[in-house]
Structures are given as C-alpha cells and as structure tokens.
Structure 1
Amino acid sequence: MNRYLKLVHMEIHRFRWILIAMMGITAIFQFSGLIWTLKKAMAQFEEQKIQGSDTRKYFDSVPDTLTFEWAMSNTQMWFILPVLLCIAVLSLYVFFIWYRDWMGRHTFIYRLLMLPTARHNLFLAKITALLLFVLSIVAFQLVMLPVQELVLKLVVPAELRSESHIVDVININQALVELIPRQFEQFFYIYGLGTIAVLMLFTAILLERSYQRMGILYGILYLAGCVLVVAAPFLYFGLDSSIIPLYPMEIYVLVLLLFFVVAGVSVWLGSRLLAKKITV
C-alpha cells in the first residue's frame, strides 16, 4: 500500500503545474465574466436612473433586483469554455500519462517496471491520480461558488440584489449542471462511467504498447468489444423482449453488472499485460 501511494504521489507531482494552470484559467474566466456582467448590469441601472422610468423597456434583460442565479444564467459561456478546456486536457492526459513514460532517450517506463512493487500498482496509481485530478477540479468549482457570490455582494448594493438558493444557481448554469450533478446517483453514473471508459482506454493503450502495430488493431477491437458487451442488453431485448422478458429496472441492473465486468476485465488484462507482456 505504501508503494502504491508513492506512485500516486509521483503522478500527482508530475501533473501539479498543469492542474494549477487549469484551475487558474478557470478562475480567471469565471470571475472576469461575472464581474463584467455585473458591471454591465450596474451601468444599465445607473443609465435608467438618470433617464427616468420611461426607459425601462430598453433594459428588459436586467431584472429589478440582481440574484446570483441571474448572474450564473448570464455568464454561461464564461463557465463552459474553461470546463471544456479542463475536459480536453484531462482527456489528452489519459493517453499522455502512459506514452510520456515511453518518450525520451531513456524511457522512464523501464525504471517504473523495475521498482520493487507489484506492477498492477502502476496501473491503479495512474487511474487513481486521474480520478483525483477530476475531483480536484469539481471541488475547486464548488469552493469558488461562495466566493463568486461574495463578489456579487461586493459589486451590487444590497438594495439592488436578492438571495438565491445554491441548487437553483447550479441548475441554471449548464456547465455547473454537467460538472456537479444534483443527485448522488447522477454523480455516480457520470463519473463512474467515465472511470470505466478510462480503464478501457488504459487497457487498449497497453495492448498497443505490448503488440506494437498489431496492438493498435487489438486495442480497437477490445474497445469495440467492451462497447458491444455493455450495449448488448439494449440491442437484444430491444429487438425481441419476448424471448427473456425483463422489466426496465432488471435491464438496468444487468447493464450495471456488465459495466462492472468490463471494469474488472480491463483492470485484470491491463495488469497482466504489465506483468507478463511488457518486459525490461
């Protein structure tokens, strides 16, 4: 366990500056968009105050009082762009976390494989590190929400603002809805399925590393097979449910079990490739 934790620490240490940069870019985008939107709204309030109530029809986009929910609704793109950037970087890192170890004149992967620890710890450490990166981004976003609400209170006078519920704030912003699911079941589905997809890609990458050119074909076939296994209940029972009639909940449980099977096979096969096929 101690060596596994050291491998996790190593992966986090190697990615730390990229993670900090993503958090910094996210904060800059979101706070800039929030402040710009609030300043624009305050300018419209001032112009309306100077010109009189007859000009109210020109400011339909700004309510009588500003809420945090309204601010989140009007800063959608400022939130979506950094979230998409984080998703893109982490998606690329799924591949880079392995191929980086093979890059360079003195390949680092051989040093890792020669460590006095079970090789499956290397596989588990990389998936653990990626999960921690994702959860760090989610936690950082949650921490920023009360700070952003404080910014709203500092920019907008008390008489021009009203309170919002945090659930409504998250639901009104599409980026936050996708990043922070409202229910635990949704959180489990989204991030659980994402974890299984990463495990499948890890195994496909190790197939390519183990068998070189033919490994590319093996990896593609493996991914296609995993998708086919998971989709089989929908394809089979959707075409002819009279053979083995199942209720929707039973089909759901079956698909969930198949996901666990795919995850287990991916971890087993990936660990076996590291232990038996990739030699130093």
Structure 2
Amino acid sequence: MNRYLKLVHMEVHRFRWVLAILMGITAICQISSLIWKLNSELSLKKELLTQDIENRFQLSSPDLLTFEWAIFNTQMWFILPILACIGVLTVYVFFIWYREWFGRHTFIYRLLVLPTARRNIYLAKITAFLLFVFGFISFQLVLLPIEHLLFKLVVPADQRADSHMVDAISRNQALVELIPRQFEQFLYYYGIGTIAVLAIFTAILLERSYRRLGILYGVLYLACCVLAVISPVLFLGYGKLYTFVYPNEIYAILVIMCALVLCLSVWLGMRLLAKKITV
C-alpha cells in the first residue's frame, strides 16, 4: 500500500504544474470576464440614468442584477477554459503511459523493476488521473462562491437581487455538464468517462505489448468495448414505442455491460503489464 501511494504521489508530482496552470487560466478567465461584464452593465445603467432616457423598457438588462444573470452572460468564458482542461486531460490519458517509453531515458524500465507488484503502476496511473479530474471539479466548486462574493463586492446592494447558487449553475451550459445536479447523472457521466479511460489504458498496453500488431488489437478492443456498451440501446429497442424489453431492464443490461467492460479492461491491462511487457 505504501509503494502504491508513492507511485500515486509521483504521478501527481509530475503533473502538478500543468494542473495548476489550467486552474489558474480557468480562474483568470472566469473572474475577469465576470468583473468586466458587471462593470460594463453598471456603467451602462449609470449612463442611461444621466441621460434621463424615457423608454426604459427598451433596455436589455434587468433592473436588478443577479449572480444567475452574470453567470449566464459570461458562460462563453466558462466554456473555453473548461474545454481546454478537458482537452489537456484527454491528451494526458495517452501521455501518462507513452512518456515512460519515450525520451532520453526510458523510465518504464525503472518502473518495471521496482520491488512492487506491477498492478500498482496501473492503479497509480488511473488513481492520479481521477484525482486530476475531481480536483479540477472541486476547484470549480470552490471558485463559484469566490465569484459570488466578487459579484456582491462589485454590484451595489441597491442594484442587485439575491439568487441561489444552484440556479446560477443551471444557467451556465459548461457548469451544467461539469457539475450535474442529480447524483445519478453525476455517476453516469463520470462512470462512463472512467470506463473509457480504462479501455484506452488497455488499448495502449496492447499496442505496447504487440507493437505494430498491437495497434490493430487496441483499435479492435476499443471498438468491441463501444459496441458492448451501446448494444443494449441499439438492439433492444430503447426509446421505441413497442419493444419486448422494459426500459428498466434495458438500463440494467446497460449497467451490466459497463461493469463487464470495466472489469475486463482492468484485468487485461494488469495482465498485459505483468506478463507481456518486459524490460
């Protein structure tokens, strides 16, 4: 257990600055866009009041600003950094393995001769990746109250109205996808994502084990995993008016198929790492 934790610490330590930069970019984009939008709206209101415009109903802005309104009108600057983080983490799924083989010193040789079970290397990499994902989600959750506080500091009390944090999240498309409101939806999104990452890990190890032929094995394995997961929806008539299987039964079959893909990916990945990949 101690060696497994050391491997997790090593993976986190190697990626810490990239994750910190991603978090910094996210915070700068969101906070700066929020402050700019609020200051622009307050300046517009002030200008309209000084000009004594009679047709006030023509204004596109509300009489009282809410945090929900501010989050909605700056959602593009939420979407862009979140998409950038997702893109970097997607690339890192491959980089977390291939960097061990490439470079001036092939680090995988040192990993494989460590006095610990090779499965700890596999588990440490998936653990570190999940820590990065949920660490970023936690950072976003911490960032929202800070942005709410900035909203209160920028907007005078007589020009703002109270709004709930949940309502603000629901108005921002990026936050809706990143932080689902229902726990089942959260498990579905991130459960499918974890299974996809494990399947890709196994495909990478197939390629590393069998080289050129392993590329074909990896592609076929991923195709079989995708087919296994979507087969209940494709072949059992999910969503159709007339079907021989109830929707709840189709959902149960889908969960079973996902569990099978998960178990097979972990078992095959660990076996390849232990038996096929040699120093």
What TM-score, normalized by structure 1, do the two folds share? 0.96
Q: Distance in 2 between matches of 1:40 and 1:55?
A: 20
Q: Distance in 2 between matches of 1:222 and 1:260?
A: 16
SS class of match (1:102): coil
Alignment of 1:2-81 (within 5 A): 2-60=2-60, 62-81=61-80
My pick for the range that moved more, 45-54 or 93-102, is: 45-54
SS class of match (1:64): coil
SS class of match (2:65): coil
1:196 counterpart = 2:200: no
Aligned to 1:85: 84
Alignment of 1:146-165 (within 5 A): 146-165=145-164
Q: Distance in 2 between matches of 1:55 and 1:215?
A: 70
Residue 55 of structure 1 and its aligned partner are, at CA, apart by 4.7
Q: Distance in 2 between matches of 1:90 and 1:172?
A: 25
SS class of match (2:146): helix
Aligned to 2:123: 124
Residue 275 of structure 1 and its aligned partner are, at CA, apart by 0.4
SS class of match (2:237): helix
Residue 57 of structure 1 and its aligned partner are, at CA, apart by 4.4
Indicate conservation of the 8 Å contact 1:48/1:55, yes or no: no
Alignment of 1:160-171 (within 5 A): 160-171=159-170
Q: Distance in 2 between matches of 1:106 and 1:148?
A: 45
Q: What is the percent sequence identity of the aligned residues?
A: 65
Q: Deviations over 1:112-132 (max 9, x none)?
A: 011111111111111111100
Aligned to 1:101: 100
Q: Deviations over 1:165-221 (max 9, x none)?
A: 111010000010011000111110001100000000000000011111111100000
1:256 counterpart = 2:255: yes
Aligned to 1:235: 234
- Whichever residue aligns with residue 277 of structure 1, its letter is K
What TM-score, normalized by structure 2, do the two folds share? 0.96
Q: Distance in 2 between matches of 1:126 and 1:89?
A: 16
Give structure 2 stretches of 5+ with no counterpart. none
Alignment of 1:202-213 (within 5 A): 202-213=201-212
- Whichever residue aligns with residue 232 of structure 1, its letter is S
1:172 counterpart = 2:171: yes
RMSD over aligned Cα, in angstroms? 1.4
Task: Report how many aligned residue pairs link the two structures.
Answer: 276
Which 4+ runs in 1 deviate beyond 3 A? none
Q: Deviations over 1:227-248 (max 9, x none)?
A: 1112222232229x9xx93211
Indicate conservation of the 8 Å contact 1:68/1:164, yes or no: yes
Indicate conservation of the 8 Å contact 1:208/1:215, yes or no: yes
Indicate conservation of the 8 Å contact 1:66/1:162, yes or no: yes
Residue 103 of structure 1 and its aligned partner are, at CA, apart by 1.0
